[in-house]
Structures are given as C-alpha cells and as structure tokens.
Amino acid sequence: MSRSSMFSPAINTACQKRGSKEHPVTGAIVISLFLLSALIPLRALAANIVLLTNSEWPPYFSEGQKHYGIGSHIVTEAFALEGIEVEFRFFPPRRALELAKNGDFDGTVGWQLNEERKQFLIASDTIWKTDWVFFHLKSTQFDWNSFYDLGDLRIGGTVGYMYTPEFQQAERTGLFSLDRGPSDDQGMKKLMARRFDIFPQIKEIGYYQASRLFTPEQRALLTHHPKAFGHHKDQLLLSNKNKDSAQLMERFNRGLKKLRDSGKMQAFFDALERGEYNLPTDSSSPSGTLDATE
C-alpha cells in the first residue's frame, strides 16, 4: 500500500455529512479521529519505508535467493545509502506491475519503462543492462542477421512477453510466429526436446534456467547465438499516484550512484558469478521475465 492510500476516506465522508448542530462531544471525536488518521501517512513517511512489488526472475529476483536476488539487493542497498528501508512483496509479473501502476504499492522492480508504462510510472536511472539472445542446441545449424531470417524456424515463446519493441513488431507483422507456452521453464524444456529450433531469453537467465532444469550432459548440448536481438535496461519504477515518488526517485538515483562509485555494485555481480546468491535449499523456479506484460 502506498503512503497516500493510508488516508481514510470514510472519515472525510463522515465530516461532510455532519451539520453545524452536531453535539460538541461527537464533533470532538470526529476531529480527533481525523487528526489521528492524518498522522498515519506522516508516521509512514518518517519511518522511511518503501513498499515494492517483486516477481520471480532468478538469478536477478527471487524469494529463494539471498537478498531476494542480486537485483533486489542492489535496490535495497541503494535506498539504504539514503536512509530508506525497502520491503518486497512477491506476485506474478503481470500482477506486480498492475499493483504498482494502480498505486497500491510504491513501485516495482525488474522492469524497463516503455510508452504504455509512462502513463502510470516514473523510471530510475539504468541499474544494469543485459542482452536478449536466441538459445538453441549445438546440433541445430542456426545463424541470423535480421528477423526476416526467422520465418521458417520453430520458435518458442512465453505467454504475455513483449521481449523488445522491435521483436514484438516483427511478430505482429508476420515475419515469424511464436509457439507460446505458460512459462520459460516449459519453453527451455521443449527446446531441449527438439520441439523448438530456437528460444528467446535473457542470456544469464537462460543459462541459470539450464543449470536448474538439466543435467550437466544436457547443458553441454545448449548454446546461444552471439548476436543479441535486443537489450534489457533494468529500472526501478515508481507509481506516479504517490506524491512522494519524485523525491523517492531522486534519493534512489543518488544512492545508486554511490553504490556504483564505491565498487560495491560490481562486487555484487562478482558474487553472482561465484554463485553466492544461491541458497543451499534454493528451490526457486525461473518462471517469469522482467518484461512480462505487453
């Protein structure tokens, strides 16, 4: 819940309905309740707590990893450098975005701003960038230069994913078609079973999925094409329905710069490569992507 949503409309309505002949004791009670409700958002603001939605997209975001994944860790530490505490709530990707857009939460992590989202959300400076690539089996002879080269291929996909604006436009104009399934896990399994020729995925995510889904022998069969078909620019998005969002974003960007300049952010990525975000009992399943809503 965002801080602005903590005001009580019921109390405002009660005040409007009461006339000038109201008993002085009753009026005093109403005034006291109103003042008490007004203190709630002030206490929340003084507490410096930001409520953000999150979704499963390991190794960047996951309830089953240390610090909820490196992406969550970066956001938490950047805010902490500005004296702000972060609380995450995990939801399916589409729900996580909608809750932030509607102002039910202060914002959401793991997204990139696009034209549709600009109507409801403001974006931070870029936190990190990565590439969208096509995964395939080494036994599949695959090369491409443009989306026109993909028309005769069996291409997997995940329901609701935009991938990139250019990719989405190429699909809509019929340059190729996707056989979309309910999850990235299913898509990678179909790729391994040779039911797809290629499968689009963020490079690091694809290999993380492979490490969780396949045996070492199976993983040795998998590769990706070195040519990226797009880039993901990760950003924190805050609801424009919260009057404090602009100020919060300024503080976050300031904290993010401090984190990057100190070298700690690079240290986090070094730890990710060493597998230090994985918990011994990590049972998370990579079932969503950052851009899971068109």
Confidence of residue 273 (pLDDT cuts 50, 70, 90): confident
CA distances from 256 to 48, 68, 97, 124, 276 (A): 17, 18, 22, 9, 21
CB 7 within 8 A of CB 109: no
Consecutive H or E run containing 271: helix 264-273
* pLDDT score recorded for residue 219: 95
* pLDDT score recorded for residue 5: 36
Which comes out higher in pLDDT, residue 28 or 133?
Answer: 133
Consecutive H or E run containing 284: none
Instruction: Tell me the mean pLDDT in the region 35-49.
Output: 48
Farthest-apart Cα atoms in the chain, separation: 86
pLDDT tens per residue, range 47-97 = 689 999 999 888 899 999 999 999 999 999 999 999 999 999 999 888 999
DSSP letter assigned to residue 86: E
Q: Which residues of 115-124 are buried (b: 16+ CB within 10 A; e: fewer)?
A: eebeebbbbb
pTM: 0.70
